[in-house]
Chain A
Amino acid sequence: MTELVLQALYSGVLAGGAYALVALGLALVFGTMRVINLAHGELVLLAAYVAYTVESRLGASPLAAIPAALALVCAAAAAVHFVVARIHVDREINSLIATFGIGVILTNTMLLVWSADVRSTSSPWLQEAVVAGPLFAMRGELVSFGASLLLMGALWWWLAKTWHGRAVRAVAGNRDAAQLMGVAPGRAELVAFLVAGMLAACAGVALYSVGVIQPALGAALTVKAFVITVLAGVGSIPGVLLGAVLLGVAEALTVTLASSALQELAGMGLFLLVLFVLPNGLLGATARRG
């Protein structure tokens, strides 16, 4: 039993790292613009398909697709921003509808370009088992987890130490006050969308490296990212990691100790429990005070 639980915890933490990578971009845009980008999962998936194309056409590692994925997904993110920024009436609700529509368009575009077949990496290096005592993981999962931590650190540094990062935080905190202090809110929002696009691109390549992709997956990714964003507390980067890891561990432990059929239910149960006990999310209140 100990071996089972240890492996579940290990798998849960690794899965949480991947979840966090998917959720970071959504959390950033939500924090800055109070816009829930329902096309975020499709942006992640777009990057995953770029990785598939690079691997299948050029025979290169999926990781080599990162520059191309960055370019394409950032362009798509900028296009989403172009649409959302033009919504001035009831932005929160109307942007939901607009980004949902963009998500549908992206899904069908991917369906047309890459067909409905399931795709996954064929790289033996990424799929190889890495064994540490009684713990097993796929090398791709460890790479993905490492990348997630690295990107989260880079995002924290950017938000805390750079002018553009601080501008994004200022707009997230108080748009009008930020404008009075010389920050152009529109530009800060575009920067937030582009950074979210970069994170989505990395998340997509990681997703392709460890999982299975198909055009209909985008919506499920968005839901997972949204759950983590709310669980984390708006504006909290460490909260995203904590929420994602908690979600991953809760799912894995449910499979191990109860039934695998209850995995998704356990995630939603955790989500509702945290919201009931901590309405601002896991680290939302702390972040606000800070």
Chain B
Amino acid sequence: MHTLKRSALLATLLLAALAARAAEFTVGAELPLTGSLARVGAGMHEGVMVAAEVFNRANGKHKIKIVTVDDESAPAKAIAAVEKLAGMGAVAITGGYGSNNIAPASSTADKLGLVYITSGGVDDSLVAAGRRNFFRINNTAGYEKAALGLFGDMKVKGVSIVYSTKDATSDLARSVGKALAAQGVKVAEHPFDPAITDFKPIVNKIRLQDRPDAVFMVGYENDYVGILRAARVLKPQVKAMVGVWSLATPKMAAEFPDLMPNVYGTALLPYPATFTGADGKAFADTYRQLYKKEPDYLGQFGYVQSMLLFEAIARAADKGTVAKGGIAEELRRTDRDTLIGRVQFAANGDNVHFSHRMGQHQGKNIVIVWPPQHATGKMAYPAVPW
């Protein structure tokens, strides 16, 4: 009896001691929830919230509390958002969308000694600026690999690249153009102002002057719709319409069923999505439970970056180094398979293993067509939406 009482007392003391060491960490989510990037910001925010939910459910010891501040798609507001989050006791920042917003926001975080992790900016200057606490899980190189891989499989001889003059889109377009030209592919570049609404003059130049095998679109959802609609009117004799982010998504298939058939875009998952691992299932189930819809790639990126951050916070907390730069240290030690593939950060904070996949709208589904080891179907080529 005495032994039982002693054991109970010991267990109570142990639990009390553990409870005393357990902590709730505030993590700041700085994202555009209004303004021109609201759509993508909201999508990524969903992934952040799913990660917090999954982490808190699985991790009995440490808890994560997300505090979100809208940066209104504006660089100055992004700086203010990070400063506000620091003032609210955030130990790190997850989020950011648009390289123009991420650059000043992450500089501010760096000055405040806060880790900043993102998947929303592919401008290479973000990782070349020497920020010690900056981490990114995707990059231009990963998108470039996917586009070049697909064009290689298509054996294209000419590509017209239509791209928005924003930093991230210009970087990717020029990089792919340079690589294609080096392979002997005839490349024509058509940069356009983000404010442009009528793409017919550009598509007409492609139709009459360039006469390429494929059109490569590097822009955002509204640009893709404009280009595809102009192409549907002018019907250039091309074999494929290829784009990058925000294009091969279930949302685009549902919203623009007439414009999307046979169009290619970067896609991490086929649609309907299939998650095989425990992490993927936890993500998808929680996502559906919280948002009553199918998970998309923005949520997936937001989830991965946030989960890696939360795990680093937990490890640093166990070592008592959260306030001594331990979160950044733990992220630098990260090497793990995630929903977007293997993640390991280089000294500049960039994920060295990132490589995207290419999907194609086929009927109501999205089929992964590149790389071959992840392909879920064959590409329809030549094939265009009209």
A interface, CB within 8 angstroms of B = 3-4, 7-8, 11-12, 15, 107-108, 111, 115-120, 122, 124, 127, 129, 136-138, 211-212, 214-216, 220, 251-252, 255-256, 259-265
* Interfacial chain B residues near A214, Cβ < 8 Å: 36, 39, 222
Interface members, chain B 34-50 (any A CB < 8 Å): 34-36, 38-39, 41-42
Q: How far is the CA of A46 from the CA of B229 in the complex (A)?
A: 23
**B145 within 8 Å of A (CB atoms):** no
Say whether A124 contacts B39, CB under 8 Å. no
Q: Given A11-B200, A252-B198, check contact A263 B193 (CB 8 Å).
A: yes
Nearest B residue (CB) for A10: B200
Query: What's the minimum C-beta distance from A152 to chain B, rounded to whole angstroms?
Result: 20
Say whether A129 contacts B232, CB under 8 Å. yes
Q: From B190, B226, B258, give the contact of A212 (CB < 8 A).
A: B226
Say whether B232 contacts A127, CB under 8 Å. yes
Q: How far is the CA of A182 from the CA of B260 in the complex (A)?
A: 60
5 interchain residue pairs of minimum CB distance: A116-B38, A116-B39, A255-B201, A261-B191, A216-B36
Taking each of A11, A127, A211, A220, which has the highest tally of chain B beta carbons within 10 Å of its own beta carbon? A11
Q: How far is the CA of A212 from the CA of B221 in the complex (A)?
A: 9
Say whether A115 contacts B165, CB under 8 Å. no
Taking each of B201, B209, B233, B234, which has the highest tally of chain A beta carbons within 10 Å of its own beta carbon? B201
Say whether B221 contacts A118, CB under 8 Å. yes
Q: How far is the CA of A7 from the CA of B190 in the complex (A)?
A: 17
Query: What's the minimum C-beta distance from B24 to chain A, rounded to whole angstroms?
Result: 30
Q: From A7, A137, A211, give the contact of B197 (CB < 8 A).
A: A211
* Interfacial chain B residues near A124, Cβ < 8 Å: 258
Q: From A117, A136, A265, give the contact of B200 (CB < 8 A).
A: A136
Say whether A118 contacts B222, CB under 8 Å. yes
Nearest A residue (CB) for B196: A263
12 further A-B pairs in the complex, CB-CB below 8 A; given A127-B233, A127-B258, A255-B192: A4-B208, A11-B200, A116-B41, A119-B255, A120-B225, A120-B229, A122-B258, A136-B204, A216-B38, A263-B192, A264-B196, A265-B193
* Interfacial chain A residues near B200, Cβ < 8 Å: 7, 11, 136, 252
Say whether B225 contacts A260, CB under 8 Å. no
**B251 within 8 Å of A (CB atoms):** yes
B interface, CB within 8 angstroms of A = 34-36, 38-39, 41-42, 73, 162, 165, 190-193, 195-198, 200-202, 204-205, 208-209, 221-222, 225-226, 229, 232-235, 251, 255-258
Say whether B198 contacts A11, CB under 8 Å. yes
15 contacts between A and B (CB under 8 A): A7-B204, A117-B251, A118-B222, A127-B229, A211-B197, A211-B226, A212-B197, A212-B221, A214-B39, A251-B198, A255-B201, A255-B202, A261-B193, A264-B196, A265-B193
Say whether B233 contacts A138, CB under 8 Å. yes
Query: What's the minimum C-beta distance from B246 to chain A, rounded to whole angstroms?
Result: 9
Q: How far is the CA of A216 from the CA of B98 in the complex (A)?
A: 15
Nearest A residue (CB) for B209: A4
Q: How far is the CA of A8 from the CA of B256 in the complex (A)?
A: 26
* Interfacial chain A residues near B229, Cβ < 8 Å: 120, 127, 138
* Interfacial chain A residues near B197, Cβ < 8 Å: 15, 211-212
Nearest A residue (CB) for B191: A261
Q: Given A108-B34, A127-B232, A215-B38, check contact A260 B193 (CB 8 Å).
A: yes
* Interfacial chain B residues near A212, Cβ < 8 Å: 197, 221-222, 225-226
* Interfacial chain A residues near B39, Cβ < 8 Å: 115-118, 214
Say whether B208 contacts A117, CB under 8 Å. no
Q: Given A3-B208, A216-B73, A263-B196, check contact A256 B233 (CB 8 Å).
A: no
Q: How far is the CA of A177 from the CA of B335 in the complex (A)?
A: 79
Q: How far is the CA of A11 from the CA of B208 in the complex (A)?
A: 15
* Interfacial chain B residues near A263, Cβ < 8 Å: 192-193, 195-196
* Interfacial chain B residues near A15, Cβ < 8 Å: 197-198
Say whether A252 contacts B201, CB under 8 Å. yes
Q: How far is the CA of A251 from the CA of B205 in the complex (A)?
A: 14
Q: How far is the CA of A251 from the CA of B222 in the complex (A)?
A: 19
* Interfacial chain A residues near B42, Cβ < 8 Å: 115-116
Taking each of A3, A4, A118, A127, which has the highest tally of chain B beta carbons within 10 Å of its own beta carbon? A118
Say whether B257 contacts A122, CB under 8 Å. yes
Q: Given A4-B205, A118-B221, A118-B222, check contact A129 B196 (CB 8 Å).
A: no
Nearest B residue (CB) for A259: B191
Say whether A137 contacts B258, CB under 8 Å. no
